[in-house]
Chains A and B, each alone.
Chain A
Amino acid sequence: MTVSAADRIEEQIVYGKLASLNRYAGERLQRMSRSPLIAEKRAFAAAVLTPRLELAHQVQFEPEHLYALRDSVRHAFDFFAYDIAEGDVIVTADPYGGGTKGQTLTLVVPTFAGGELVPFPAIRAQMADMGGEIPGGFNESAFELWQENMRVTPLKLYAGGKLQRDVHRFLTANSRTPDWIAADLDAMYACCLETQRSILLLLEQYGGETVERAIKGMFAYTSAEVLRGLPEAGSEYVGEADIPSREASGTIRVRARRDGGTFHFDFAGTSGQQSAPYNATPQTAKACAVIAAAANSIDELPINEGLLETFVFHFPQGCILSPDFPAATGLGSRLTGHAVAAAVTGALRTSGKPFVAVHGPGPWMTLYPPIGSSPSVVPVWIDPGFPVSADGWGPAGLSGAGRLVSAEELELRSGFRIDSRERETDERGDEGVTVRLKVLKGTWEYQLFEPDRGSIDVSEDDHGDEGASRPLRAGDVLTFRYADAEPHGGQKGTVQDGE
Chain B
Amino acid sequence: MANDWNKRILSQVVGGTLDSVAQEMSAVVTRTSRSPLFNEAHDYTTGIFDLHGNKSRLVAQAPGCTLHLYAVVSAVDRLVEAFRYDLHPGDVLLVNDPYYGGSHSLDWTIVTPVFHGRKPVLLPAVRSHMGDNGGPVAGGYNPRSRDIWQDGLRIPPIKLYERGEKRRDVFEMILGNNRLEHWLEGDLDAMIGACRVAEERIRTLLERYGGDQVREAIDSRIAYTERRVREEIGSWPDGTYTAETFADHDFQGRRDIRVKATVTVKGSDLHIDFTGSSPQVSGFINSPLSNTTSFAFVAVSTCCDEDIPINEGYMNPVTVTAPLGTVVNPKLPAPCGHATACVGAEIAEAVLLALAQCAPERVGVNAHKLPLAYSHGEYEDGRPWVNLNFFGYTGGAGAAYGTDGWGLYPPVMTGVILPSIEMTEYQYPCRILKHEYREDYTGPGKWRGAPGLEVKIQHLAESRTSVMMAGVRNTIRGFCGGGNGPANQVVINDGQPGAMDVPETVFDYPMPPNGIITFQRSGGGGWGSPLDRDPEAVLDDVRNGYVSVDGAFRDYGVIVREDGKGGYRLDADATEAHRSRLKESKRK
Residues of A within 8 A of B (CB): 79-80, 83, 94, 131-133, 144, 146-147, 150-156, 166-167, 169-170, 173-174, 176, 326, 370-372, 374-375, 377
Contacts and interface: CB of A to CB of B under 8 A. Distances in A.
Contacts of B136: 132-133, 146-147
Interface stretch (B47-55, B142-150, B404-412): B142-150
A372 B333 contact: yes
15 contacts: A131-B135, A146-B136, A146-B177, A153-B172, A156-B169, A166-B156, A166-B159, A167-B158, A169-B157, A170-B155, A170-B173, A173-B154, A372-B282, A372-B334, A375-B333
Given A133-B136, A155-B169, A169-B156, A176 B179 contact: no
Interface string B124-164: 00000000001110000000001101100111111100000
Contacts of A173: 97, 154, 156
Given A132-B136, A154-B169, A176-B147, A375 B154 contact: no
Q: Give the 8 A-B residue pairs with the shortest CB-CB distance, closest first.
A: A372-B146, A372-B147, A133-B136, A166-B158, A153-B176, A131-B149, A371-B146, A146-B134
B502 interface: no
Nearest to A90: B169
Contacts of B135: 131-133, 146-147
Contacts of A153: 169, 172-173, 176
Nearest to A175: B149
A174 B149 contact: yes
B537 interface: no
Contacts of A370: 146
Contact of A155 (B97, B149, B173, B282): B173
Nearest to A169: B156
A185 to B, nearest CB: 16
Contacts of A146: 134-136, 177, 179
Given A131-B135, A151-B177, A174-B153, 11 more contacts: A131-B149, A132-B136, A147-B136, A166-B157, A167-B170, A170-B155, A173-B154, A176-B147, A326-B179, A374-B333, A375-B331
A170 B156 contact: yes
A170 B177 CA distance: 13
A153 B332 CA distance: 26
Contacts of B173: 151-153, 155, 170
Which of A94, A153, A377 lies at the interface centre, i.e. has the most chain B CB atoms within 10 A of its CB?
Answer: A153
A150 B149 CA distance: 9
Which of A83, A154, A173 lies at the interface centre, i.e. has the most chain B CB atoms within 10 A of its CB?
Answer: A173
Contact of A80 (B83, B150, B169, B334): B169
Contacts of B149: 131-133, 174, 176
B82 interface: yes
B332 A375 contact: yes
B154 A94 contact: no
A166 B82 contact: yes
Given A150-B134, A150-B153, A377 B169 contact: no
B147 A377 contact: yes
Nearest to B153: A150
Nearest to B282: A372
B176 A151 contact: yes
A102 to B, nearest CB: 10
A79 B169 contact: yes
A497 B126 CA distance: 68
B153 A131 contact: yes
Nearest to B93: A166
B147 A150 contact: no
A169 B158 contact: yes
Contacts of B150: 133, 371
Interface of B: 82-83, 97, 134-136, 146-147, 149-150, 153-159, 168-170, 172-173, 176-177, 179, 282, 331-335
A150 B152 CA distance: 9
Nearest to A374: B333
A146 B136 CA distance: 6
Contacts of A150: 134, 153, 177
Contacts of A83: 168
B184 to A, nearest CB: 13
B509 to A, nearest CB: 16
Contacts of A375: 331-333
A133 B148 CA distance: 10
A133 B153 CA distance: 11
A170 B158 contact: yes
Contacts of B157: 166, 169
Contacts of A155: 169-170, 173
B527 to A, nearest CB: 40
Contacts of A174: 149, 153-154
Which of B82, B136, B282, B331 lies at the interface centre, i.e. has the most chain A CB atoms within 10 A of its CB?
Answer: B136
A222 to B, nearest CB: 34
Contacts of A133: 135-136, 149-150
Which of A83, A133, A176, A372 lies at the interface centre, i.e. has the most chain B CB atoms within 10 A of its CB?
Answer: A372
B158 A131 contact: no
B172 A79 contact: yes
Contacts of B169: 79-80, 153-156
A94 B176 CA distance: 9
Contacts of A377: 147, 333
A491 B169 CA distance: 43
Nearest to A174: B154
Contacts of A166: 82-83, 156-159, 170
A80 B168 CA distance: 9
A115 to B, nearest CB: 22
A83 B157 CA distance: 24
Which of A83, A146, A169 lies at the interface centre, i.e. has the most chain B CB atoms within 10 A of its CB?
Answer: A146
Nearest to B152: A146
B333 A176 contact: yes
A441 B6 CA distance: 73
Contact of B147 (A94, A144, A154, A371): A371
A470 B296 CA distance: 39
Nearest to B155: A170
B418 to A, nearest CB: 30
B379 to A, nearest CB: 15
A173 B344 CA distance: 25
A150 B331 CA distance: 22
A109 to B, nearest CB: 16
A151 B135 CA distance: 10
A372 B170 CA distance: 28
A485 B157 CA distance: 51
Which of B136, B169, B179, B333 lies at the interface centre, i.e. has the most chain A CB atoms within 10 A of its CB?
Answer: B169
A156 B159 CA distance: 13
Given A151-B177, A153-B172, A131 B333 contact: no
A44 to B, nearest CB: 22
A2 to B, nearest CB: 51
B494 to A, nearest CB: 27
Contacts of B172: 79, 153-154
A147 B155 CA distance: 17
Which of B150, B176, B331, B332 lies at the interface centre, i.e. has the most chain A CB atoms within 10 A of its CB?
Answer: B176
Contacts of A147: 135-136
Contacts of A132: 135-136, 149
A132 B134 CA distance: 9
Which of A79, A153, A166, A326 lies at the interface centre, i.e. has the most chain B CB atoms within 10 A of its CB?
Answer: A166
B128 to A, nearest CB: 19
A94 B168 CA distance: 16
A170 B157 CA distance: 8
B141 to A, nearest CB: 14
B384 to A, nearest CB: 9
Nearest to B176: A153
Which of B134, B159, B332, B335 lies at the interface centre, i.e. has the most chain A CB atoms within 10 A of its CB?
Answer: B134
Contacts of A372: 146-147, 282, 333-335
Contacts of A79: 169, 172
Contacts of B83: 166
Contacts of B176: 94, 151, 153
A326 B180 CA distance: 12
